[in-house]
Chain A
Amino acid sequence: ELKVEQNPLFLSMQEGKNYTIYCNYSTTSDRLYWYRQDPGKSLESLFVLLSNGAVKQEGRLMASLDTKARLSTLHITAAVHDLSATYFCAGDLNYQLIWGAGTKLIIKP
């Protein structure tokens, strides 16, 4: 059974700071996904990480995958208010997405 744990679940930070969200998973997952959700809105796909050592970057967000450690990270560089949202990671087992609980990120001006 694949379990996905995110931490922290809540993060309040100042603009301009860097921080990392962690996503641990319990067993082998073929792929790891990161999604963003604004309050009351849908989920938007951010990154798909397909292999060990994969690193993807989009703007101030960078995601990486370490399959040996069963860990993915989402790093935020020089945070801006527009990045305030809830971020979910999801593992993939037999094409079934298993979701973390989400990290609610609040970035204060």
Chain B
Amino acid sequence: DSGVTQTPKHLITATGQRVTLRCSPRSGDLSVYWYQQSLDQGLQFLIQYYNGEERAKGNILERFSAQQFPDLHSELNLSSLELGDSALYFCASSGNRGVSEAFFGQGTRLTVV
């Protein structure tokens, strides 16, 4: 158990809908990362937050948004969903002790039908 909690584990929704994925980082970790992993694809970095502030942005679509709350949990909002958004979405967290080793949650498997 990495200590990073993601909910829900599975999500099936229709095209055009909006969903919210939730992530609770490890206790004490200030950074949260969101990644998308499609079938047989590598990890696509979406966005990183550090202590509530956006720190880095990757290949995140305009239909997607995220935020990190004062209690450090994070949410990834996906809207106007398309079939191609079906993927595993991972959240990872890391601390602030000079080593950015990231610990991953179990992921949310999103299926858009």
Residues of A within 8 A of B (CB): 31, 33, 35, 40-45, 48, 50, 88, 92, 95-97, 99-102
* Contact A43-B31, Cβ < 8 Å, known A31-B99, A31-B100, A48-B101: no
Query: Nearest Cβ distance between residue B31 and chain A, in whole angstroms?
Result: 7
Enumerate chain A residues within 8 angstroms of B33, measured Cβ to Cβ: 97
Pair B90/A43 contact, Cβ less than 8 Å:
yes
- Contacts across chains A and B counted by CB atoms under 8 Å: 50
- Count, chain B residues at interface, CB 8 A: 23
Contact of A92 among B2, B48, B100 (CB under 8 A): B100
With the chains together, A97 CA to B94 CA distance in Å?
11
Tell whether, in the assembled complex, residue B42 and residue A33 are in contact, meaning their CB atoms are under 8 Å apart: no
Question: Is chain A's interface secondary structure helix, strand, loop, or mixed overall?
Answer: strand
Residues of B within 8 A of A88 (CB): 42-43
Chain A residues lying within 8 Å of B55, measured Cβ to Cβ, are 95-96
Those of B17-45 within 8 Å (CB) of chain A: 31, 33, 42-43, 45
Q: Which residue of A lies closest to B44 (CB)?
A: A99
Q: Find chain A residues with CB under 8 A from B2 CB.
A: 42, 44
Neighbouring B residues of A41 by C-beta, 8 Å: 106-107
